[in-house]
A = this chain, B = another copy of it.
């Protein structure tokens, strides 16, 4: 790149898959990326743009010459164009829509009219469908006659009634292995699900995952076929969902990525650290109530972080299991009571086990059976409370329509810190002073 060897770059990049080219662009530094694009913009096709992290897309699109961008965008299916433009600035969207064929432009604009994160945004409008009275032979003749206009990938033919309502679908495998005179009606699949265009993409992804769908027809509010969602779209949603959940649980902005700038990253992480500061100060206020006790027995200051830390970890275990189960819809009102009970009992048992360990540590280290007893009792209390808080807080947040992955951590930590310090120092005041 440094030598400006365009043919060399060509030879190097030619055999790469668009997804790998996108990864390469994400991993080089900003300066390298710019000189790369200046030299080799003709290699950036639509698929590479689709594969880029959305933070970088805007930047790369701005750097591309107009004709390269136009070619890149024109070759994409309508759902990929929608995915490409939906996070861009308005003037960039306008510039991209302008270069599309009128029909594609209308398709993209209609998709953008659906709310964000709905099936309408995910679907592609290129659908292979047929009247329900056709035979296999008629279908094959139709497909041969329209070979040029078919979507790049399709897995089913959707049967529609005269009002364009989908009534069933036929897999291409059945179509290929049936005699020409077979009516399509005779080889439709048993199970058949339609997706409303306004359904949330998380529900779409759940249906694909739960029922192992490969593609599913999308219908408008009148039940008419308007598009199709294929598994690759659903997989992206699932993948992003899991990614977001991990990042939210850790208090990192849900859309953070390695190619973000320092300032962006700092801003994403600041709010969660700030919430944690409030939590920590609350815990300190609890400790401040016991300043006299600590001044008299400094060992309390030495041991108190252990109780809080164990509670925090046990709470994180329970809350992660709860957040996961809520996300996968395995935690419902029918098993909630049993799960809460289980977390409470697990907390008690582990609490008792660590109470024993810490009682001995307290006794051996500080030579005080009473101190050992106090830390043991505080451990049982805090691990029990941690188990219950870890399950109940996410469930309550979920009922209140607050994202449990995002908010549970702060609440649970507050509870375990406050309870941990209060139980340990409070018991110490009662039994040791």
From B144, B273, B310, contact of A280 by CB (8 A): B310
Interface pair B350/A269, CB less than 8 Å apart = yes
Indicate whether A401 reaches chain B with its CB closer than 8 angstroms.
Answer: no
A interface, size bucket: 35 or more
Each complex incorporates copies of this chain amounting to 2
Residues of B near A191 (CB, < 8 A) are: 17
Which A residues between 239 and 263 are near B, CB-CB below 8 angstroms?
239, 242-243, 245-247, 249-252, 256-258, 262-263
Give Cα distance in the complex from A210 to B26, angstroms: 14
Query: Does A36 sit at the interface, judged by CB under 8 A?
Result: no
Is A294 interfacial (CB 8 A cutoff)?
yes
Whole-angstrom CA separation of A304 from B154 in the bound complex: 61
Q: Which residues of B contact A95 (CB under 8 A)?
A: none
A270 adjacent to chain B (CB < 8 Å): yes
Inter-chain contact A251/B317, CB cutoff 8 Å = yes
Q: Which residues of B contact A178 (CB under 8 A)?
A: 144, 147
Chain B residues, Cβ within 8 Å of A238: 235, 238-239
Partner of A172, one of B176, B295, B338: B176
A interface, by DSSP: helix, strand, loop or mixed? Answer: helix
Contacts of A329 in B (CB 8 A): 23
Residue A423 lies at the interface, judged by CB distance under 8 Å to chain B: no
Please indicate the chain B residues that have their CB under 8 angstroms from the CB of A235 in the complex.
209, 231, 235, 238
Residues in B neighbouring A269, C-beta threshold 8 A? 314, 317, 346, 350
Q: Mark A316-341 against chain B: 1 for CB-CB distance below 8 A, else 0.
A: 11011100110011111011001100
> How far apart are the CA atoms of A298 and B287 in the complex, in Å?
10
Query: Do the beta carbons of B144 and A179 come within 8 Å of each other?
Result: yes
Question: Which chain B residue shows the least CB distance to A187?
Answer: B147
List, sorted by A's number, 18 A–B pairs whose CB atoms are closer than 8 Å. A19-B210, A19-B212, A27-B330, A27-B332, A27-B334, A172-B175, A209-B239, A231-B231, A252-B317, A252-B320, A269-B314, A269-B317, A273-B310, A274-B354, A277-B358, A284-B303, A284-B305, A284-B306
